[in-house]
Amino acid sequence: MSRLRKYKPFARASAIDVMAYRFNIITWAIVTVAEVACLIFLWLAVYQSSEGGIDSSINGFTYKEMIVYVVLTTIFGFVTFNDDTVWFINRDIRQGTIGNFLIKPISYRGKFIASNIGAFLMMSLVFGIPLYAAGLGVLIGIGYLPVASIWDFIAHFLLFLVASVLACLLNGAISYIFGILCFYTTAAWGLNALKTTVIAFLSGTLLPIAFFPNIFREIVSYMPFAGMSQNPILILMMKYDYLECGKVILISFGWWVLLELIGKLLFNHAIKIVTVQGG
């Protein structure tokens, strides 16, 4: 435990950072409400023009479920993925400040895990609680998200929290790997754009993975990205039974361990080639 204590300042610092930028929620809210409205109308058009009309089910999603999915994914993305890991690593490399971390008795990755978790906790506390409360309240209230048993819902909600933490860690690990690639190239902007696009597409943020073609869908559902957005949301929507919940959480956990390992190997190679500027 005492070994973890030295990472506390980094978690605290990023939590404080969240508070410093808390008014970002206003711009986020304006953009997001418009985006969600567009998506709602888009899906409305899709379902209305389908054979069974508005009440049909496409790839296992009814129109109502689709709306719930869109709303929850949007909140989830805002609360869970808020990291600038790639930018921080790129800056440390370009400005040579990476040396400051290499001479301290802390792990570089550990520092980022601490700040990701710190930011995640603060985001959950400040924005997560009110946004989920409002979102779920409305969706359940208007009957879009039917809750048969309150205990069933609470159990799924707790599993969702576990899946959220894993999603945050997975996102951090993938960002870290992309960040370490900045040792080899100066194209940080491109790397970050690539990362964002890949995650948005393969995690089911843009479109549930069920909508992908057959084989592709099978592959993607076993990739780490599914655990970063779609799976936590489907757990919360109670689309998974407990066995499936356990399965997707285990897969995510396995991927997280594997990605951390890859990140570590990559970092160990990268710092051998590091050439700190300035003599």
Partner 1 sequence: MSVCCFVVDDFQYFQDEGHTTTKEPSTRDASFFCLARCGTIRNDTKGILNMIQVQNLSKIFRKPIRGKGLVGMLATLFSRKYTEIRAVDDVSFDIMEGEIVGYIGSNGAGKSTTIKMMCGILTPTSGKVLIDDKEPYLKRRIVAKDIGVVFGQKSQLWWDIPLIESFKVLKEVYQVSDSDYEERIQFLSSVLGVDEFMNQPVRTLSLGQRMRADLAASMLHNPKILFLDEPTIGMDVLVKDKIRTAIHALNAKYHTTVVLTTHDMADIENLCSRIIMIEKGKIIYDGPLGNIKRRFGNIKTLTLTIPPSVDPNEVKPFSEDVMMELDEDHKDKVMLKFDADKVVLEHIIQYSFSQYHAIDMKITDISIEDVVKKILAQQEEEHE
> Which residues contribute to the site for partner 1 (CB under 8 A)?
2, 5-6, 8-9, 13, 96-100, 102-107, 271-272, 274-276, 278-279
Contact between 174 and 259 under an 8 Å Cβ cutoff? The reply is yes
Closer residue to partner 1, CB minimum distance, 8 or 22 = 8
Tell me the two tokens of residue 276: 């700190």
CB of 95 to partner 1, least distance (A): 8
- What the block records as the tokens of 46 is 């899709």
Alpha-carbon span 186 to 26, nearest angstrom: 33
Tell me whether residue 247 or residue 269 sits nearer to partner 1 (CB atom): 269
Cα separation, 192 vs 175, in Å, equals 8
Q: Residue 5 CB, nearest distance to partner 1 (Å)?
A: 6
Looking at beta carbons only, is 103 or 150 nearer to partner 1? 103
Question: With respect to partner 1, which residue has the nearer C-beta, 17 or 165?
Answer: 17
Q: Which is nearer to partner 1, 112 or 240 (CB)?
A: 112
CB of 119 to partner 1, least distance (A): 17
**222, HSE (Cβ side, Cα atoms, 13 Å):** 4
From the list 233, 245, 89, the residue with the least C-alpha distance to 175 is: 89
Shortest spacing between CB 114 and partner 1, in angstroms: 11
Least distance (Å) between residue 122 CB and partner 1: 17
DSSP 182: G
C-alpha span between 29 and 65 (Å, rounded): 22
